[in-house]
Amino acid sequence: MRSALVALLIFVWIPVMLFKPHIGVLVWSWVSHMNPHTHTFGFANSFPFLVIVGVLTAAGMVFSREQKSFPPHPILIIVLIYVFWTIVTYSFAFEPTIGKPKIIQFMKMIAFAMVSVVVMQSPNRLKGFFYVMVISLMFIAVKGGAFTLMTGGGNRVQGAGGMMSDNNQLAMAMAMLFPLALYLVKHHHHKIFKWPAIVAATMVPFAAIGTQSRGGFVALGAVFFMLLLKSKRKFIILAVSVPLAVGAVAFMPDSWKARMQSTENATEDDSFIGRVAMWKFSTNLAADHPVEGGGFDVFYVRHMGLAEKYMPAGYRMKAPHSIYFEVLGEHGYVGLFVFLTMLFTGYYAAGTNAKMFRKYKETEWVGDMSSAIQLSFIGYAVGGLTVNIAAFDFFYHLLITVVLCRIVGDRLVEKGVTKVEKTGILAPKSKGKWKPPGQGVRPQPAERVLG
């Protein structure tokens, strides 16, 4: 029954995708982030839904008569540069067959992101793209948070499939999701969605804590700290969050507390020492191959003497457990530089959007969305220190969302916007509609202009 239901929910949109490609993008986003087929036990579990949706969406772009444009945004430029470099490093890889599945998955994800930025350039489509992505992940958060509460935190919340295949990756997704969930609480659009949004947002930290991932716990703490710094209501946030945090920690079992406290003695933890050994592997490999690295998934090449040559004595090769050392080992110092530039560009562009668009009533939601995504990037950057998700689709889709926010925000400003009125005794009076220079100016007679 589950397989039939998932297949029906996807296939019912097939005729629409052929003429409205933005519907195909939304269906792709739902399947990609929620992974509904992984919750089934029949044919749907292994059915290639994303391939079919991708082909139909591409066909819809051909049939659709809508005007399409590819914006020359700095984020897109640096993403394409990074993609080009991964192709170069793959061609020079030690063992291309090992990294073939990863590069195929990465290219499909990038192709979807590029299609999204072309067809989702309107306010409603941007909202749909963002809401489908966030609500899909919040479904996983509600399941994980409820499981943590029902089991008293005694059992670990495992991965949810796709890019969140293990508990560390799921914890990272939850840490990145938290500020986006708070955005939905603020912009719920209808009172009927207010309390469901609040309950779902509350479940996100419980889902992250329930994974028992130390990296995810640190990432969640970093997001909360930055949220506190950027917020104008620090006292209210502390008054609500501190009791909840204390209660959550007291609620968790001793095994969870012992695992979290092990971060204080990281140098004595075998798991952490093993990760340091893999980081050493990446730096040793990059020392010999600083430009091209070793190619996708070089960490799983068991022959060619890589372990003997680059691993510290007494340790075996495993996952890199860091986005930075993952990129360094796979794509060299050039790839790492481009990757860091991409991360910084996304963070800076999101902050710029927030400053530009939060000043006006018509674009305030765009600014808040960008600000929430900026906090998500903090979680990705901090949590990525110990989790290998450099090709995480959630991160790249947030980059695309920042680009869409800029496009939509600029178009709304061109139509004319109203400045947000400040509250308080000293607040200035509203001056009404504001328009860009050159708009709304009454033309002067030629004699008066020329004197």
Confidence category of residue 373, pLDDT binned at 50, 70, 90: very high
Q: Are 184 and 134 in contact (CB under 8 A)?
A: yes
Q: For 134-144, write each residue's pLDDT tens digit.
A: 999 999 999 98
Distance CA 129, CA 117 (A): 10
pLDDT at 327: 95
pLDDT at 395: 95
Q: What is the mean pLDDT of residues 324-331?
A: 94
Distance CA 121, CA 288 (A): 44
pLDDT at 115: 92
Confidence category of residue 54, pLDDT binned at 50, 70, 90: confident
Residue 261's contacts (CB-CB under 8 Å, 6 or more residues apart) are none
Q: Give pTM, 2 decimals.
A: 0.86
Residue with the larger pLDDT of the pair 431 and 258:
258
Question: Comparing C-alpha atoms, which of 174, 169, 248, 240 is closest to residue 207?
Answer: 174
pLDDT at 338: 96
Confidence category of residue 267, pLDDT binned at 50, 70, 90: low
Confidence category of residue 406, pLDDT binned at 50, 70, 90: very high
Residue 191's contacts (CB-CB under 8 Å, 6 or more residues apart) are none
pLDDT at 212: 81
Residue 334 has pLDDT above 50, yes or no: yes
Residue 109's contacts (CB-CB under 8 Å, 6 or more residues apart) are 32, 391, 393, 396
pLDDT at 122: 92
Q: For 147-175, write each residue's pLDDT tens digit.
A: 888 887 777 787 666 677 778 888 899 99
Q: For 77-135, write each residue's pLDDT tens digit.
A: 999 999 999 999 999 999 999 999 999 999 999 999 999 999 999 999 999 999 999 99
